[in-house]
Amino acid sequence: MKVGDAFVARWAYQGERPEPTTEKGVASAEVKLGAKFPDSYRAFVKSFGAIESRIELLSHIADEELDFAEIQEFFEPEEVVSTTHDWRGRGLPSEFVAFGSDSMGNLSCFRCVGGACENEVWFFDHDFEEVETTSLAFSAWLDRFATL
């Protein structure tokens, strides 16, 4: 079973799917950002690409009054670079790299230190310009959604 299989089966938009990200695309983004992505994230985007989740994920989280944000979309590697650079000028701390967003435009991120991104997922609230940890590694973070 690949990282993210359960998430994709349960929540990914079932329309036209994006192409999986290539190793070249991932590596190019890493060079531009000066940091290597976690292996689990690399495996996910190379298997599924920049997928979007169905609106039912947000609805389920809201209906159950869960205290965490959904993931609406995962970014293509070049969008990871451009979004990260754009948001660093608008409050995202420089050690964070944004790999996706929720329906409100808040960001899901990795913290990168010493040329490597940590596996833990962080949440950037753009309204309050605050970053908080989810306390979950990327694959566990995906599994949390998959088990809803």
Band of residue 34 on the pLDDT scale cut at 50, 70, 90 = very high
User: Is the pLDDT score of 1 beyond 70?
Assistant: no
The domain of 49 spans 5-146
HEC assignment per residue over the chain? CCCCHHHHHHHECCCCCCCCCCHHHHHHHHHHHCCECCHHHHHHHHHHCCCEECHHHHHHHHHCCCCCCCCCEECCHHHHHHHHHHHHCCCCCCCEEEEEECCCCCEEEEEEECCEEEEEEEEEECCCCEEEEEEEEHHHHHHHHHCC
Q: What is the CATH number of the domain that holds 73?
A: 3.40.1580.10
pLDDT in tens, 106-137: 999 999 999 999 999 999 999 999 999 999 99
pLDDT in tens, 74-88: 999 999 999 999 999
Q: Check residues 100 and 18 and name the one with the higher pLDDT.
A: 100
The number of domains in the chain is: 1
What is the rounded distance in angstroms from the CA atom of residue 33 to the CA atom of residue 112? 9
| pLDDT for 18 | 79
pLDDT in tens, 7-30: 999 999 887 777 899 999 999 999
- Torsions phi, psi for 69 (to 5 deg): -85, 155
